[in-house]
Amino acid sequence: MNWNSHEFIWLDWVIIAVGICAVTWAVWRSVQKDKRLQKGANSEDFLFGKGEPWYIIGAAIFAANIGSEHLVGLAGTGAKAGVGMAHWEMQGWMILILGWLFVPFYQLMNNKLGKIITMPDFLKNRYTPRTGSWLSIITLIAYVLTKVSVTAYTGGIFMESLLGIPFWYGAIGLIVLTGIFTIFGGMKGVMTLSAIQTPILIIGSFLVLFLGLAALGGGSIAHGWTAMIDYSKTLNVGKDGVAYGTNHMFHFNTGDPLYDDYPGFWVFIGASIIGFWYWATDQHIVQRVLGQTKGEASDVVMKRARRGTIAAGYFKLLPVFMFLIPGMIAVALASKPGSGLTLNNIIVSTGIKDIKIEGTDTAFGQMVKYVLPAGVKGIVTIGFISALVASLAAFFNSCATLFTEDFYKPMFKGKSEARYVLIGRIATVVVVLLGIIWIPVMMSLGSLYSYLQGIQSLLAPAMVAVFVLGIFSKRITPKSGEAGLIVGFLIGMVRLLTNILTNTGRDAMTGWYWESTRWFWHTNWLIFEIWLLVFIMLFMVVVSFFTAKPTAQQVEFITFTGDYKKLIRNSWNKWDVIASLGVVVLCAVFYWYFW
């Protein structure tokens, strides 16, 4: 047997088959045990989970974030552009904002409303019912157009580059498998799968990292790191013939080819806006910490939730080393004569036109096959497949939650819990079908990562504005929040349309209309995102001067009340503070090294 084969052998396939069966059994057993304890179906437990330990919450947050876009996109971006994309990944400090600032608000609202809330509930109580409904609509649209479709698309690439499964079989198979898993497993299944796959994913990815560095360095990890950095310094050559390198996060020179993607300090601010929206206000992430056990004190629940976010903060430091840097190693190995590693392009037919998937996007799959020994490939692949399913299942589950809690329950009150669970499952099936339908349309719109980042940068400002001003200002009126969310979303969608028509501002557009609106469609996407946030906030302030003030109850629900401060103070100790500071310090050290 060739233990060092660069391809999958029979042993790997046997391990994958046995491993999938074992994971399925473990999840099924956990779900059945939970149902027996519940003595019947319960929609809140199906959608939110129930009283998980802090380390499970941390693993679930991490698993919900890690999807095939990391296995493919982050590694591919590392191969193509180095550590520039690390701004979006080095955000463990941002998760602390969720735990220390936002979770207490959510918990107090849970206590006052007597139920586990969704993010639209949050806005309905601070602003107007229409504000919450608009957030639900925007979130569902975003999930279908980006989360589900992107995860399935990149999953198809990963399956083809790693296992040799044709793109469409891999993409559709992943969606169908995840849909079935979500329908029958619910949030308990997602949490259980997250706990299983997280250690496998972390260990497997670090094996790829260290063995890849050793292969690049002739057996020495240290020499491999030096060789990777040295090679990255020769890349990113501008029109002036200067190699600007891909070994740093900030690109200040306008002659740098990567300046448009990562413009100076703007990139940190823009990435932080997206990070704030995603980590502190997005249903997909917040849902991981909203589970609670009835009868427990609020400060106990709060402590568990916060410590879960602190754990997730440490986990979030890992993806750069798990995926991005292996991409940098892959491109360095591919350039090494006689290494045997190649990054081949993939041609996929969408039914509209053929799309060429750049070889850099196959970097992680190729690294797994190239550096891991036989048998280990199979074990690690189980973790990767579980990660794909857990991430996609979390999106499906969040969609089911939003539809059930924010649309169906208000219209059809008093139905049985079994009915609400059934509606959540039907909503999941609808999301699955819409995700499949959208994939070929999305693929025809150009670069995947440009498309994904563009969507996020256009959705985030409105979300951030309404949440931040709603919490930090008692003067912001209900109608201003509603108007800010709607206007911000519509401006973002207009910019998205111009991105599609102008190839994200890269094409030369002629005519009086395009010339007169050049400032709108040609401005760098991150700079546009920042100014859009500023505009929405100013717009909300102006609207507040002409509309009715919030009621005392609305202000009490959201802003910094005595109950809020008491809940926070009773739920932490010095070790929570020390652990949180550790996340911040590690992030700062990374920025210092890759400045």
Instruction: Quote the domain boundaries for residue 344.
Output: 53-444
Pair (417, 451) in one structural domain: no
> Which candidate, 6, 101, 93, 20, places its Cα nearest to that of 369?
6
Q: What percentage of the chain reaches a pLDDT higher than 70?
A: 86
Pair (451, 396) in one structural domain: no
DSSP for 12-80 reads HHHHHHHHHHHHHHHHHHHHHHHHHHHTS--HHHHHH-----HHHHHHHHHHHH--HIIIIIIHHHHHH
Q: What is the pLDDT of residues 106-137, one digit of tens each?
A: 777 766 666 656 777 778 888 998 998 888 88
Pair (377, 458) in one structural domain: no
The answer as to whether 28 is a domain residue is: no
The answer as to whether 47 is a domain residue is: no
**Where is the domain boundary, 386, 409, 444?**
444
Indicate the average pLDDT of the chain: 82
The answer as to whether 478 is a domain residue is: yes
Pair (132, 198) in one structural domain: yes
Of the two residues 166 and 591, the one the predictor is more confident about is: 591
Give the pLDDT band of residue 294 (cuts 50, 70, 90).
Answer: very low
Pair (370, 493) in one structural domain: no
Q: What number is the average pLDDT over the span 566-581?
A: 84
Pair (404, 553) in one structural domain: no
The answer as to whether 11 is a domain residue is: no
The answer as to whether 179 is a domain residue is: yes
Pair (225, 252) in one structural domain: yes
Q: What is the pLDDT of residues 450-494, one digit of tens each?
A: 667 778 889 899 999 998 998 888 889 999 999 999 999 999 989
Pair (96, 227) in one structural domain: yes
Pair (256, 113) in one structural domain: yes
pLDDT at position 295 is 46
Most confident of 28-42, 115-129, 274-288, 552-566: 274-288
The answer as to whether 40 is a domain residue is: no
Give the pLDDT band of residue 187 (cuts 50, 70, 90).
Answer: low
Examine the pLDDT at 255 and tell me if it is beyond 80.
Answer: yes
Give the pLDDT band of residue 540 (cuts 50, 70, 90).
Answer: very high
The answer as to whether 12 is a domain residue is: no
DSSP for 344-375 reads --EEEE-SS-EEEEPGGGGHHHHHHHHHSPTT
> Which candidate, 494, 286, 561, 297, places its Cα nearest to that of 401?
286
**Where is the domain boundary, 444, 460, 480?**
444
Give the pLDDT band of residue 35 (cuts 50, 70, 90).
Answer: low
Pair (228, 194) in one structural domain: yes
**Where is the domain boundary, 397, 429, 444?**
444
Examine the pLDDT at 441 and tell me if it is beyond 50.
Answer: yes
CATH number at residue 411: 1.20.1730.10
Pair (367, 472) in one structural domain: no
Give the pLDDT band of residue 299 (cuts 50, 70, 90).
Answer: low
The answer as to whether 498 is a domain residue is: yes
Q: How many domains does the chain have?
A: 2
Pair (201, 288) in one structural domain: yes
